[in-house]
Amino acid sequence: MTAPIVAISGHPGGGKTTLTRALAGRLGVPSLHYDDYETMTSRPPSEVRDWMARGSDYDEIGLDRLVVALTDLSRRTPAPKVILLDTLLGRAHRQSGQIIDLLVWIDTPPDIALARKVAEAAARAAPAEASSFVGWLRSYLDHYQGFISGSYMLQRERVRPGADIVLDGCLAPDELADLALSSILARI
């Protein structure tokens, strides 16, 4: 028997990681995070823009290691009750999407997601790093206007329609976790 894979998707800053960690803690199950496996964000912005200009084919994002890790976890004996996957791509990435049993979309407005992303980075910056944070912020906001906002819209068009469960990303984290947990348990 294999463990079902439940993916949590949404925009960067939308609450995926927070929700995944909360659910993993409440259920006592393993979780994997797309960010630990992807290499797209380490590419120069010009390459990302070129990729987007070619149509942003999610299948060009190599996730072999993630798929192997998910498959190995799902076949573990004894199998966990569920495996959680924090991912931007949901079922829109052919290789990883075909092994997702249940997809949750956190429906967070892009402006709220952007504000959370900036607040998270600001909270991590030490006072002595203020000038480097300001540089990061300027760069991030420039890229946001240049191509990141477009990637949010594309993600909403490609990933959200495949969701089995859609949750309000403006809910407080504990309220979102309660709702997600009851919705997931009702379906697995």
Residue 11 DSSP symbol = -
pTM above 0.85, yes or no: yes
For the chain, helix, strand, coil in percent to 5 are 60, 10, 30
Q: Of residues 1 and 93, which shows the higher confidence score?
A: 93
C-alpha–C-alpha distance, residues 151 and 154, integer Å:
5
Q: What percent of the chain clears pLDDT 90, i.e. is strictly above it?
A: 52
From residue 32, alpha-carbon distances to 36, 45, 121 in Å are 8, 26, 22
Q: Residues in the chain, how many?
A: 188
1 pLDDT band (50/70/90 cuts)? low
pLDDT at 127 over 80: no
Give the pLDDT of residue 153.
85
Alpha helices in the chain (DSSP H): 16-27, 45-53, 64-74, 94-97, 110-124, 130-143, 149-158, 173-185
Identify the pLDDT of residue 187: 92
Q: What is the dihedral of CA 112, 117, 122, 123, to 10 degrees?
A: 90
Question: How much is the pLDDT for 166?
Answer: 97
| Other C-beta atoms lying within 10 Å of the C-beta of residue 80 | 18
What mean pLDDT value characterizes the chain? Answer: 88
Please state which of the ranges 90-94, 134-138, 155-159, 179-183 shows the lowest mean pLDDT: 134-138
Residue predicted with more confidence, 34 or 151: 34
> Taking phi first (over 0 means left), then psi (-120 to 50 degrees means alpha), and beta for anything else, what does residue 29 get?
beta
DSSP-derived 3-state class of residue 180: helix
Characterize 23-45 residue by residue with b for buried, 16 or more Cβ atoms within 10 angstroms of its Cβ, and e for exposed. Answer: bbeebebbbbbbeebbebeeeee
Distances in Å between the Cα of 151 and the Cα atoms of 51, 157, 184 are: 11, 10, 27
Q: What are the pLDDT digits (tens) for 67-109?
A: 999 999 888 888 889 999 999 999 999 999 999 999 999 999 9
With bands split at pLDDT 50, 70 and 90, how would you rate the model's confidence at 23?
very high
Q: Would you call 2 exposed, middle or buried from its count of C-beta atoms within 10 A (0-12, 13-18, 19+)?
A: middle
pLDDT computed for residue 76 by the predictor:
86
Q: What is the pLDDT of residue 134?
A: 79
Average pLDDT over residues 47-55: 83
